[in-house]
Homo-oligomer: A and B are copies of this chain.
């Protein structure tokens, strides 16, 4: 199935989804927002697959477990929420042994504890196929509410919390979910829209634009680029890597210019990089140093099947 077909499938699932009692945000954001007993719960699930999301030959079991939990933590961060409890389902390759399974769970436990998350349930399976780990994470929105993908407004400034690109060289396994950064940002300013950069800056920006019904211009020489992206040494430029590589798990968000100025003047300790602005016209664009404007394609990483 092509990327286009995958988006069509998600659209179809979304269309079929009925409105649950208390459901404030359903399929199509980093986490669902479900009002229960006066609380706004955030719910997200992510499945990691061997040879797609990690290589057994490159990552120890503990780091695989860590990533399985961390990608979910990043989804809660993208809503500026606080993570609370998790459920874990694993399909272990037969013969992987007790120590491997224990280290996988230790990796999950360690980062869960770092963010005060308790693993409250699970399902342990074995099969003669590669490792699969699914984590489902529940959190709660802050008192200011969940930050969705749909609140970007024309004129908003666009920020990222760190340099992008080349995560395949290591950061995709060891990144730090921006839970504390998101909470601090939301305390300091009024965040209009937010997403974690998992599919790539361009693809994730497109998600915000689609949900908010707006466009945006990124300024090429203000996009922070990792050393890893600069050292890739392949046919793509560091900027292309920063725009299209996935799994940096930095936050991409928009806020008013006034709030943007506050952030740049150091109103909170979270490092932020101004990368562009939101436009009323529904198009994604790049602005180059010489003033040229080009179109920005949705070429971030997407699954194909």
Contacts and interface: CB of A to CB of B under 8 A. Distances in A.
Contacts of A124: 6, 9-10, 13, 303
A16 B305 CA distance: 38
**Tally of this chain's copies:** 2
Interface in A257-305: 303-305
A89 B46 contact: yes
Interface stretch (A30-38, A153-161, A216-224, A244-252): A30-38
Interface stretch (A98-106, A204-212, A225-233): A98-106
A84 interface: yes
12 contacts: A1-B98, A8-B98, A9-B102, A9-B105, A10-B124, A12-B102, A17-B119, A32-B121, A45-B123, A87-B136, A89-B134, A95-B305
Interface of A: 1, 5-6, 8-10, 12-13, 16-21, 23, 26-27, 31-32, 34, 36-39, 41, 43-47, 49, 51-52, 84-85, 87-98, 101-102, 105-106, 109, 113, 118-127, 129-130, 132, 134, 136, 138, 303-305
